[in-house]
Structure 1
Amino acid sequence: MPPWVASVPRSTILRTRRAIDRLHVALPCRYATEPRFANLRARAASTHVSPTAINLRPNIPPRNKELYDALSALSRAAETYANISRLQLALRGVAAHDAVTRIAVLGLNSQVSAQRLARLLLADPLAAEEQWEKELEKSGDGDERAVLLKYGDESDVHAPSPLYKVLSVPSRVLRSHNLEILVSTLNINVAKTLAAASTESSTEAILVPKLQATSARGMPVPYPVHKTLVFGEGLDSAVTFGRFTSDSAGEIDAIKVAVDLPAQQEEPEQVGQNGSVAVNVQVGKQALASFRESIQNSITYERGWFRSGLPALSNWLVQDLQPSASIKPAMTSLIASIADDVEADITKADTARLQKLASIPTDQELKASIVGHLESWAEKSHTELRDQLDEAFSSKNWHKLSWWKLFWRVDDVTMISSEILERRWLTSAEKSSIYLAGRMNQAGFADDIQRLAVNDIPEVTTEDTASTAENPRTNLSTDVRKPQPWPEHISTARAELIADIVPPLQAVAQRLILQTFSTTALSSALTALLYLSVSTLSLFEASAVAALGLTFSLRRMQKLWEGARESWQGTVREEGRRTLKGTEEVVRLIIRCHSRGEATVVEDEGVIERREAREAVQKVRDALERIDNQTASGERV
């Protein structure tokens, strides 16, 4: 106690104390008339629960049981949309008779400035500077942890925590309102926040500060609070905070902003409902020091204290913390804020879903779009089939298989014909079909494509595949016919075409060469026999038979080979048209099946989840309204 206090009459001290109570609501309990309680630490125990603690069902007051059950149901139904940290804080507050109220003092520029502000809000003008005040005034001591201010004596021993440093403060405000104050910083990086859209809103970042463990590898731990006082220094900090909270809809009662600005010459007009206030920590510090120096400076202290703007913060600090029979108004505001946030997130999800559904075209539009793309693809594919095959059959490679070159090109028939089919037969149409399949997949036809089997496609019967007496076609087969997506129809048809028509063309070429050589050899032998057996025939006359046989064989070879080539060309063209027609029929079949509603419709599970979450929010609101009505009825009685 300062030495000048002993010489002052007790009546003067009591009158001064009553005046200070009206100016400064943060007097310590050592000058209060109420007796101290023995177990201070038990009464002011922190509500911070270790993650490894065993969750046991608390002894819930009967009046709060309905609200507790509604909040528990909300945590299960709206886990995706609710802030779990704030919801757990609300559950612990409802489960206790007089739960601890958490208030955070966050510095925008540094934690030291926030500590000095908290010191002025809790300091006792009638007492000398205490050790906890000196701890808060320290700066640059290497300990960057947050500070938790709890009611108690300096001799109290607290369990060490890697998240914050605990200081015992003998403040009547902390004791009478069962209050804890967390002093930390609010890390704001506007450029990073604007560049990368974070899923966490600015309001959640302020009401749920992140505490960094002492270990560099530790992850930030959320520490939810009921109210937050944000303290900045200078106009630049106010502008920075405004940019940070640009996503907020408006002022929030649970958030107060104080900016350290030059003090005014006269006392500022205080409006209790303002979301921001201008203060001057230096003026408040000087006023506190002047009163501690001498009680005669009470007028100077009063003027300086009001000029500093700190009374508005002192009033806001204890606002909505009045004890009641059920729960404090601050706890009611927390629960209502949680319900509003959950409902807002659900509304955003519903809006996003509706926008997505609105951007999806209708079935008729989808059908018309796919049919349009299909017709364009079919037209281009038929044009490609005609032009590419005309170019291929007039190329030098195909002319290498002329009948008179067949004698030395007979082994190249397979290579040249296969090359035409692989490089000229619907290559661009096959690539375009993949793009068309992608459009159908995007439009929701993927399931229809996958479940459409080959036996569902109308099959074109040819002479080779028709049922005959020698080769009867039955429905019994050991081969499993797997569903085949239509984009593979062209490649499959090409492979089958190469395997079916290229070997017969090669066989025709070899057979004609053999027949030509055989006929020529037979006519030559007949010529020699006539020349030797008929003496009247000259060699020239006998050679006429050989010439006749050679001419016949070559003419026959030319006719048959050119006919085989023209037939082969016609088969290639016809199979190309059939393949395109079959592919087009498959796509139209898929469109018809989808239009008849045969397509698989996946139900949006998020709709059910959001409906259940809305019902849980409504139950919380109903339970909270009943508690408010009961409280109001009790006050009237």
Structure 2
Amino acid sequence: MPPWVSLAPRCASSCRKIAIEPSIRAIRSCNLSKPRFPSSLRVRSASTHLSPTAINYRPNVPARNKELHEALQKLGEDAEQFYNLSRLQLALRGLEGEGDEAVTRVAVLGLNSQVGAQRLARLLLADPLGKEEEWEKELDGSSDGNTSAVLIRFGEQDDVHPPNPLYKTISVPSRVLGKHNIEVLVSTLNTDVASNDIPTAERPEEAILVPKLQAPSGSGVPVPWPVHKTLIVGEGLDSAIAFGRFTASSAEDRRDLVKVAVDLPPPSKEVEPSENALSTPVNVGIGTEALDSIRASVQNSLEYERKWFASNLPHLSNWLVRNVETTPSSTVKPAHGLLIASLLDETEANVARAEAQHIASLASPTNKTQEQVNAEMLGYLETWAEKGHEELRDSLDEGFHSKSWKRLAWWKLWWRVDDVGMVLEEMLQRRWLVKTEKDAIYLAGRMSQAGFPEDISSQAPLLVQDTIPASEDQTSPPPPSLNSTTPPTPETQTETQTQTPPPPPPPQPEPTNLSTHLHPRIPFPTQITTTRTTLLATTLPPLQSLAQRLLLTTLSTTGTSTALSALLYLSSSSFTLVEAAAVAGLGLTLSLRRMQRVWEGAREEWQARVREEGRLVLKGVESDVRGIVVQGKKGLKDGGGGGEDEVEEGVREREVARGAVQRVREVLKGLL
């Protein structure tokens, strides 16, 4: 079905309220227009399209059709996933007319070409005893490259129709259209695709009975235009073979709604075609000659009759008006009843297809138990963590030995001080767990597919304890200072004796980690991104500031020592030039040594912090995911997909849909 067809109503009246949004203007222009008719003829509705502006639309349904109309509305509510919305709307509008007032839509679709379809439509609707009209010339002279569809309605030729980007409207004073209240859509049916490649929205039966109209420019989404009957027009045996391939994947027989006409040379021996046959051969050229001969002179009536029957067009003329008139015992046209029956068959087929898929999924060997799913997720997690630690080690080693990192050596700060922030940002953005971050998204997709949530808020305290290292626990009171000069009081002595001695400090203090981003309330796929953002915000400005401050301090110290050496040389004759210069050199050496020690130490500390933060975030994500898998069964049952409640709901939906279809069948049987 098309994307908008599956959005079926959930309330009883929304079948009439849903508008096809991709082409609002196009549908509005074709729905709100009605052709003008001669006063001697009764006015009939020119279109059965539902106007998207009719939000509070209240149809005037005849009393005999009201029960069927309500049953179809109920079907729209109960079987919302299994029917074609545009066909349901057409069926509902067909029940809103009294007797013959309901419009019957017929589509004439050319196989990959609209030229033959327009010429055939002209022959079926033209008056042989009248002169050639302008609309006939417009349909026959279709070699101008215009590929837009043509909608033929009953009316006078001078009727004005609003412009429509989907099709061109032509008013034709045809007796066939006026007597039987028919409108004809002439368009194309594209069969240049393999049947196996046709998506669900473009199955052959839907492509034939629900043609898609699109503007010649190709912009916008194709708009469905459902019809009651379709005449397929092909030219030559190749088109017949193409149509057979196109419908090869369709198992439904729609011969009551579809007719195939193939333009072939007339046979040497006249053969009477069967009315129930799916296809029939025709010859448009001989039919055109017959029409031209009778218009040239009435004396050519015998020649006209011979050629007309030889072209086999009378068979198509009878098919065109078949089942479009109501019977004395029914207010529903047979063609409209066939549309409703076809819609019900399609709904039942979709329900059966959904049930077969459900049974196949239950019988599939890939249907795993919860323990198998948990073990599989833990295996994915261990693989992800292992690759993450390897990337953290290898990528950072490569980055810290790259040319860009060596540009930040202490003796290059004089001309590279403005590049500090850029180099550090590049290191974090391109070499710090980049691939692992993408793999975390894939891991989250596997978790979501298996039905696991992204976090477990109810178990946050447990996960926080597993995530934050013990060395950074700030809840215990600090030990008393050994250098305190305040004499201890009895209360403090008692408190000191009752306190548990603190754990011995590690050999090297760990850098301050960003444990806040490991809180389980943050979904695990975003923890690496959050940590990187925090590192960029908290470590880059201090290092940039330190580099600038070291340069300023070095310059100040060097300048001060140089000024002192000059002052000593000028103020005292006992200091030689070499001795005074030694003082300046000493100041320069001390300032550069301090700059080297501080800056290289800051770089090494930043390297260690980046590595440690990567290790901590990998550990935190692993802890979170492991907790979700092991302890998140409640979240899987309540919020995950594939649970028993969802299966039971699907079974109920299919049962309700079958009941709605059966109800419509019973009501329809009483009206036909």
TM-score by length of 1: 0.58
**Counterpart residue type for residue 64 of structure 2:** R
One of 147, 150, 167 as aligned partner of 1:147: 150
Q: Distance in 2 between matches of 1:147 and 1:345?
A: 32
- State yes or no: 1:333 paired with 2:371: no
Q: Distance in 1 between matches of 2:236 and 2:671?
A: 46
Q: Distance in 1 between matches of 2:324 and 2:381?
A: 70
C-alpha distance 41-108 of structure 1, shift in aligned 2 (>3 A): farther
- State yes or no: 1:82 paired with 2:77: no
Contact 2:450–2:641 (CA<8 Å) still a contact in 1?
Answer: no
Give 1:180 shift: 1.5
Give 1:150 shift: 2.8
One of 224, 227, 230 as aligned partner of 1:228: 230
Deviations 1:224-279, CA, capped at 9 Å, x for gaps = 21111011111222222233333322431312111111110111231222211111
Partner of 2:324: 321
Give 1:120 shift: 2.0
Contact 1:257–1:275 (CA<8 Å) still a contact in 2?
Answer: yes
Partner of 2:408: none
Partner of 1:68: 69
Give 1:91 shift: 1.1
Query: Structure 2, unaligned stretches of length 5 or more?
Result: 1-36, 389-431, 480-494, 501-514, 532-617
C-alpha distance 114-610 of structure 1, shift in aligned 2 (>3 A): farther
- State yes or no: 1:618 paired with 2:659: yes
Partner of 1:510: none
**Counterpart residue type for residue 235 of structure 2:** E
Partner of 1:283: 286
Partner of 1:169: 173
Give 1:54 shift: 6.2
Residue pairs, 1:449-488, within 5 angstroms = 451-455=458-462, 470=496, 472=499, 482-483=519-520
Give 1:117 shift: 1.0
Deviations 1:399-431, CA, capped at 9 Å, x for gaps = xxxxxxxxxxxxxxxxxxxxxxxxxxxx99xx8
- State yes or no: 1:265 paired with 2:303: no
Secondary structure in 2 matching 1:148 = strand
Q: Distance in 2 between matches of 1:586 and 1:160?
A: 62
Q: Distance in 1 between matches of 2:386 and 2:140?
A: 83
Contact 1:74–1:617 (CA<8 Å) still a contact in 2?
Answer: no
Q: Distance in 2 between matches of 1:373 and 1:292?
A: 80
One of 313, 319, 324 as aligned partner of 1:310: 313
**Counterpart residue type for residue 333 of structure 2:** K
Give 1:62 shift: 1.2
Give 1:61 shift: 0.8
Secondary structure in 2 matching 1:330 = helix
Partner of 1:362: 369
Contact 2:204–2:246 (CA<8 Å) still a contact in 1?
Answer: yes
**Counterpart residue type for residue 277 of structure 2:** N
Q: Distance in 2 between matches of 1:142 and 1:375?
A: 62
**Counterpart residue type for residue 247 of structure 2:** T
**Counterpart residue type for residue 336 of structure 2:** M
Partner of 1:342: 347
Give 1:371 shift: 7.4
C-alpha distance 214-361 of structure 1, shift in aligned 2 (>3 A): closer
Q: Distance in 1 between matches of 2:221 and 2:524?
A: 51
Contact 1:251–1:275 (CA<8 Å) still a contact in 2?
Answer: no
Q: Distance in 1 between matches of 2:378 and 2:133?
A: 84
Residue pairs, 1:83-482, within 5 angstroms = 83-97=84-98, 98=100, 99-141=102-144, 144-152=147-155, 154=156, 157-162=159-164, 163-171=167-175, 173-182=176-185, 184-188=186-190, 190-191=192-193, 197=199, 199-213=201-215, 220-253=222-255, 254-293=257-296, 297-324=300-327, 325-353=330-358, 355=360, 358=364, 359-367=366-374, 369=376, 443-446=450-453, 451-455=458-462, 470=496, 472=499, 482=519
Partner of 2:599: none
**Counterpart residue type for residue 372 of structure 2:** E
Contact 1:281–1:308 (CA<8 Å) still a contact in 2?
Answer: yes
Q: Distance in 1 between matches of 2:279 and 2:157?
A: 37
Contact 2:463–2:623 (CA<8 Å) still a contact in 1?
Answer: no
Give 1:65 shift: 1.2
Secondary structure in 1 matching 2:270 = coil
Contact 1:102–1:181 (CA<8 Å) still a contact in 2?
Answer: yes
C-alpha distance 353-168 of structure 1, shift in aligned 2 (>3 A): same
Secondary structure in 2 matching 1:262 = coil
Superposition CA RMSD, Å: 5.3
Contact 1:77–1:609 (CA<8 Å) still a contact in 2?
Answer: no
Contact 2:452–2:640 (CA<8 Å) still a contact in 1?
Answer: no
Q: Distance in 1 between matches of 2:73 and 2:279?
A: 34
**Counterpart residue type for residue 361 of structure 1:** K
Secondary structure in 2 matching 1:231 = strand
Q: Distance in 1 between matches of 2:234 and 2:619?
A: 74
Q: Distance in 2 between matches of 1:109 and 1:321?
A: 28
What percent of counterpart residues are identical?
Answer: 46
Secondary structure in 2 matching 1:270 = coil
C-alpha distance 373-132 of structure 1, shift in aligned 2 (>3 A): closer
Give 1:620 shift: 4.6
Secondary structure in 2 matching 1:256 = strand
Give 1:214 shift: 7.2
- State yes or no: 1:602 paired with 2:640: yes
**Counterpart residue type for residue 185 of structure 1:** S
Q: Distance in 1 between matches of 2:383 and 2:665?
A: 63
Contact 2:108–2:121 (CA<8 Å) still a contact in 1?
Answer: yes
Deviations 1:139-188, CA, capped at 9 Å, x for gaps = 33565543333334x466243342322222331x3233221222x22151
Contact 1:268–1:307 (CA<8 Å) still a contact in 2?
Answer: no
C-alpha distance 104-437 of structure 1, shift in aligned 2 (>3 A): closer
Q: Distance in 2 between matches of 1:65 and 1:96?
A: 11
C-alpha distance 614-276 of structure 1, shift in aligned 2 (>3 A): farther
**Counterpart residue type for residue 340 of structure 2:** I
Residue pairs, 1:8-27, within 5 angstroms = none
Give 1:582 shift: 13
Partner of 2:41: 40
Contact 2:79–2:656 (CA<8 Å) still a contact in 1?
Answer: no
Query: Structure 1, unaligned stretches of length 5 or more?
Result: 1-35, 382-426, 474-478, 493-579, 632-637
